[in-house]
Structure 1
Amino acid sequence: MGVVDDKPGLRERKKQRTRAAISEAAITLFLEHGFKQVSVAQVAEAAEVSKRTLFAYFPAKEDLVVHRLADHETEIARVVRARRPGTAPLTAVRENFLRGLRERDPFTGLSDHPEVRRLLRMILDAPSLVARMERFKTGAERALAEALRETAETPELTARLAAVQIVAVHWALAQDNAERLAYGEPADERYAGAVADAEHAFALLENGLRHLTPQR
């Protein structure tokens, strides 16, 4: 019985290794030669898999890059779900963003680690990657709306509209930081301005989004 139980785990680990190998090969080639200049066939060859196998894991070339950011798609929703009792959803998101700035979390755009900076520059310079990130943004909105409905008893329309605004502000702040750092500004120099921008942005949100729960 134990042998049978182990098989799915082994298969899953093999899939994870294959996925990671393809992703690593792709990012290495893209950073070295440019996203547009590298073909899917070259990525498959470097990862020692067939094109068919590659597309089974990554349906589009852009997914090879966006995959690196996949964990962040539902991060705002996770923050709302994990917030302390009595903490408003927007407060939790604000505190998490400010903490991310302090810790130089790439999700805030304020990481000047060389590889992160190169990856951000590559994304910003490729229209197809920027467009693919819009789908990522839509997924974040859906996840956050669901979290607001389930944890704050927020009506569906209110949750959807609030999620669109919160994600848009979060996105704009991170993108502003990323663009500055991608082209040379040090994170330490940008930090004070990034905090001021974030405080301003969340204050604007709070002014219109103070009530995410039904009025009693």
Structure 2
Amino acid sequence: MSEGLRERKKRETRQRISDIATWLFVTKGFDNVTVAEVARTADVSVNTVFNYFRTKEDLLLDRQGEVENLLSGVVRERHPGESALQALRRDFLDAIDTRHHRYGFHEGGDAFARMLMTSRSPSLNARLREMNEARERALAATLADEVGAGPGDLTPALVAAQVSAVVDRLVTHAVERMLAGETVDAIAPGLRRQAERAFEMLESGIGDYGARHPGSPVPASAARPDGESE
């Protein structure tokens, strides 16, 4: 069903408020911007802002669902014959090569990271931790579902924890170098080599866990939202 005019206007309004809020947070610091200032700058009422965003943190973290489901989505959409780890490696290296924002390594990413790191907001820091934990849980749940792991099998959770730790460490390393003044183009070659090495180390332990072999049935849970399988 196509998006109606009312729904489109609501979506555009929500996106505009979020974009303005993010710009203010990055420019002035998260702690120094109020919801009232966001509303004034966006030319809407404070009530309108809260109609779209439950909290101030939601204004900044409007892509929370996308972040939390990133790794699990990569696994669900992996190629035939490709293991979970191979898919995650491919996606991470692609993000480095294309400078895509999904892992935080892109032009301008240093300003966003600096804003997060300088915030003294306990609620924002708690939300960031919750997002990382939710991302790891989502990956573990997807792995368990894809391989049919039993309720007592810790393997999916162990794999998810290892992958999440590697991704976090690589991203943190890249962000630290960006904050030190290096450009993404200068960082990319070394980051790619270290990412390849990190995934090779995981490969020796995780191996072909979660490989989808050609011709194997696609789990019902991996079907696309429109009902069509991959």
C-alpha separation between the residues in 2 aligned to 1:32 and 1:87?
A: 42
Q: 2:110 aligns with which of 108, 117, 121?
A: 117
Match of 2:158 in 1: 161
Would the aligned equivalents of 1:108 and 1:177 in 2 still touch at CA under 8 Å? no
Residue identity in the other structure for 2:134: G
Q: 2:30 aligns with which of 9, 26, 35?
A: 35
> Relative to structure 1, is the Cα distance of residues 175 and 56 closer, same or farther in structure 2, using a 3 angstrom cutoff?
farther
Q: Give the total of aligned pairs.
A: 207
Do residues 190 (structure 1) and 178 (structure 2) align? Answer: no
Do residues 131 (structure 1) and 120 (structure 2) align? Answer: no
Residue identity in the other structure for 2:19: E
Match of 1:52 in 2: 47
Structure 2 residues without counterparts, runs of 5 or longer:
211-230
Match of 1:173 in 2: 170
Q: How does the TM-score come out when normalised to structure 2?
A: 0.79
Structure with higher RCO (Cα < 8 A, 6+ apart): 2
Give the superposition deviation at 1:26.
0.7
Would the aligned equivalents of 1:40 and 1:61 in 2 still touch at CA under 8 Å? yes
Give the superposition deviation at 1:177.
0.7
- Mean Cα deviation higher: 71-80 or 94-103: 71-80
Q: How does the TM-score come out when normalised to structure 1?
A: 0.83
- Mean Cα deviation higher: 90-99 or 168-177: 168-177
Give the superposition deviation at 1:94.
0.8
Would the aligned equivalents of 2:110 and 2:178 in 1 still touch at CA under 8 Å? yes
C-alpha separation between the residues in 2 aligned to 1:127 and 1:87?
A: 42
Do residues 10 (structure 1) and 5 (structure 2) align? Answer: yes
Structure 1 residues without counterparts, runs of 5 or longer:
none
Q: 1:74 aligns with which of 65, 69, 74?
A: 69
Match of 1:146 in 2: 141
> Relative to structure 1, is the Cα distance of residues 200 and 127 closer, same or farther in structure 2, using a 3 angstrom cutoff?
farther
The share of aligned pairs that are identical, in percent, is 39
Residue identity in the other structure for 2:20: A
Deviations along 1:3-48, whole A, 9 cap, x unmatched? xx98x83332222122112112212222232211111111122222
